[in-house]
Amino acid sequence: MVQFVKIMRMKKHVNISCPMDCCDLCRFIVTVEKGRITKFEGDPHHPVTKGFTCKKGKDLVQRMVHPDRIRHPLMKKNGRFVKATYEEVFQIIADKLVSIQQEFGTKAILNYTSDGYGGIKNRIQSIFFNCFGGVTQPQGSLCWGAGIAAQQYDFGSSKGHFPDDVLNADTILVWGRNPKYTSIHLYTLLKQAQKKGSRIIVIDPVKTATAKAFDDYVRIRPSTDGVLALAMANTIIENNLHDKKFVEKYVLGFDRFKAYASGFTLKRAEQITQISAKTIKAMAFQYARSKTASIYIGFGMQRYHNGGNNIRCIDALAAVTGNIGKKGCGVNYAAKSISPYLSDLDRKSEVYAKNRRLFTVGKLGDFLETVQGPSVKAIFVAYGNPLTQSPDLKKTVKNFSRVEFKVVFDHFMTDTAKQADIVLPAAFVFEQEDLFATSMYSPVLNDSQKAVDPPEGLIPEFEFYLELAEKIGLKNLGFKDSQDYLRKAVQPLLEKLGKNFIQLPGAYLRIKTDEIAWKNKVFETPSGKIELYSEKALQDGLSPLPAFMEPSKGNNQFPLRVLTCHTMNSMHSQGFAFTDEVPKVYLNRKTAEKFAVEKESYVFVKGEKAKLKARVCIDDAICDNTAFIYQGWWHKSGAVNLLTNSKISDMGKQAAYYDSFCTIEKIS
Ligand code: SF4
């Protein structure tokens, strides 16, 4: 007892990783006293995030102790949730799994996981279902798949430079990216680069907070980024400013690309992109004549039917100017440095997934409506909120709710959890040890320790699946407990770095040889070069060259494009848990006048299948013919994905959210 009291009084400092689906992957140091977190700070020694964090990170402790947090299992009875015991839910779930397996086969189970929590333990649900024989699961991407696929065709993979390298760039194109809201550490570095004289040009359909913070802003018509890149490349080649030596040695398909790009004159590009020919020419010269020039691409421009090609065109612009593989250069879209070394256990579990069936994640509603042989009888959701974040929500909610058995893990009663039969509480990052890596920007592995105990009796997701495996006699997971899992998962990375597991706590692991992407000029494409002409793309039924595809357009009934970008203070839908305000729809003055709506008035924003109520904000930061609503609002407010449709991009099976159109109806 004396010992227990001593421990409770002890003050300790614990390393915690930010668990959110964010580019930056901060690490925090929390102070724990008497079993409670009493102080939260950024880790000043972290090589990327250097001690400062955003509000989303700071809010995590409040979220953990929030009175609305789900702290025990819930089961739906007569349409209402009632408290259940783990014993009951284990029994029900185990019985259900076995009966579905016997009657319909394991394909009748759908496993849905996402990135709402970024620790590598979040693979547990997928590993469990692989070992169970393989089930139905998503492929493609809601987030960034078209861009990843594009860079695979061009470079063989998607790599980024170490964040600080942006300071070596004389010119920086921030293209469709709003780091002031989504990657504050990149934003801070851009500000430093500006101070030391780098020229920063922000290209975006919307004059974002980032665009407002720099002198050079270029507004581009949505979905025409590829044309801008082609016209810049053509101007550069016509003016003999391309890097001939680099092209000869490291680029495949230059002549064909040159011939194709020659069709994108400044005049034609001006008509398509709505950027003046003079500006395009000046940008092309600036980019080509800079000793070092880097590009930072956001995820928005690939959320169109031509999204992959938009990115391929930008890659080509960098390739013809030789801005690849050197300090202060690159096309920074993703940074797949650490994460490939952490996926061994998933890959190993796939050998058991003989009955796996895949569906395109952006078409969840369509899939559930039409699938046969067998139809879906049970859905398990963890680390995601598909009934807010999926496109075409009306159809998705309708078909999801019809599935006879649904289990959802979450911290709060989300729109997805509300539809479940069983809701299981999820652990917070402070309540378990884990390892975190992102493929988006930060190339540093964050070790994260347990700071406090979860609420009494709560079984974290990882331990839940270990116990469930035990109950149904599944013996092939490949690890026995959390420590064993983490040790095995990180082993390939430790081997690569010549380290061992005991050196992990507190370490900042990174692969230093990757810090200038493609420094060795060896590309993981079939030819080993940058492939402007890609046979692989051709085999996949795509244009082998980066190609222009006409942007989609609205019609008389639905003339406004819907843009739904990230807000500053919420990671997807997580930050909207405690608001039931009506969403704001941002229109520029011209659009507001066209629909005769005034600021602060309430309107319906009507999409092809549903409408939602919104409050008008008049803001000339928004481009013409566009209704802009931040993503993440829950159904109680008005979920923006009621307005989006389930179109898919040209590559990567990416949800083409931004090819959705709407109109504005006044509420009288
Ligand atoms: S959301 Fe991003 S910037 Fe904010 S604390 Fe987490 S990792 Fe850092």
* pLDDT, mean of residues 480-495: 96
Q: Give the architecture (CATH level 2) of 560-666.
A: Beta Barrel (2.40)
Q: Is the pLDDT of residue 7 over 60?
A: no
Please state, in angstroms and rounded to a whole number, the distance separating the CA atoms of residues 234 and 317: 9
In the predicted structure, residue 295 carries a pLDDT above the cut 90: yes
* Pocket residues: Cβ below 6 A from ligand 1: 18, 20, 22, 24-26, 49, 53-54, 56-57, 184, 571
Distance 446 CA to ligand 1 centre (A): 13
* Predicted pLDDT at 186: 98
Cβ-based neighbours of 294, under 8 Å, separated by 6 or more: 161, 165, 166, 169, 171, 172, 173, 323, 328, 329, 330, 331, 332
Where exactly are the structural domains of the chain?
2-64, 74-140+347-511, 161-333+520-539, 560-666
Tell me, in angstroms, the distance from the centre of ligand 1 to residue 631's CA. Answer: 18
Distance 21 CA to ligand 1 centre (A): 8
How large a percentage of the chain has pLDDT more than 90? Answer: 96
**pLDDT tens for residues 69-116?**
999 999 999 999 999 999 999 999 999 999 999 999 999 999 999 999
74-140+347-511 fold: Rossmann fold (3.40.50)
Beta bridge partners of 295: 173, 331
Q: How many angstroms does the Cα of residue 25 sit away from the middle of ligand 1?
A: 6
Q: How far apart are CA 181 and CA 207, in angstroms?
A: 13
> Using CA of residue 648, residue 650, residue 656, residue 662, what is the dihedral sign?
negative
Q: What is the pLDDT of residues 135-174, one digit of tens each?
A: 999 999 999 999 999 999 999 999 999 999 999 999 999 9
Which ligand 1 atom lies nearest to the CA of residue 22?
2
Can 2-64 and 161-333+520-539 be said to share one CATH topology? no
User: What residues have CB less than 8 Å from 86, skipping those under 6 apart?
Assistant: 73, 457, 459
Burial letters 522-552, b for 16+ CB under 10 A, else e: ebebebebbbbbbeebeeeebbbbbbbbebb
Q: What is the per-residue pLDDT for 8?
A: 58
Closest by CA to 76, choosing from 84, 68, 86, is: 84
Q: Which residue has the higher pLDDT, 264 or 7?
A: 264
- Estimate the share of the chain in helix, then strand, then coil, as percent rounded to the nearest 5: 35, 20, 45
Residue 20 Cα to ligand 1 middle (Å): 7
Across the range 625-634, mean pLDDT stands at: 97
pLDDT at 343 over 90: no
506: pLDDT confidence band, cut at 50, 70 and 90? confident
Q: Which CATH number among 3.40.228.10, 1.20.140.10, 3.40.1280.10, 3.40.50.2020 corresponds to the domain 161-333+520-539?
A: 3.40.228.10
Q: Tell me the average pLDDT across 335-339.
A: 91
Q: List pLDDT tens digits, range 350-382.
A: 999 999 999 999 999 999 999 999 999 999 999
Residue 638 contacts residue 582 (beta carbons within 8 Å): yes
Query: With 80 as the cut, is the pLDDT of residue 5 above it?
Result: no
Say if strands 378-382 and 109-113 run parallel, antiparallel, or are unpaired. parallel
Task: Compute the distance between CA of residue 392 and CA of residue 366 in angstroms, rounded to an integer.
Answer: 9
- The string of DSSP codes covering 12-32 is EEEEEE--SS-SS--EEEEEE
Compute the distance from residue 182 Cα to the ligand 1 centre, in Å: 8
Cα distance between residue 383 and residue 381, in whole Å:
7
Position 39: which residue type?
K
Residue 604: strand, helix, or coil: strand
Model pLDDT, residue 503 = 87
Q: How confident is the model at residue 10 (pLDDT cuts 50, 70, 90)?
A: confident
Helix axes 225-238 and 277-289, enclosed angle (nearest 10): 60
**Residue to probe by mutation, ligand 1, list 53, 59, 430, most atoms within 8 Å of CB:** 53
pLDDT of 6 = 57
Residue 4 clears pLDDT 60, i.e. is over it? no
Mutate to test the pocket of ligand 1, among 17, 24, 183, 446 (most ligand atoms within 8 A of CB): 24
Residue of 15, 16, 21, 22 to test ligand 1 pocket, by largest number of atoms within 8 Å of CB: 22
Domain 2-64: CATH class, spelled out: mainly beta
Q: Is the CB of residue 137 less than 8 Å from the CB of residue 302?
A: no
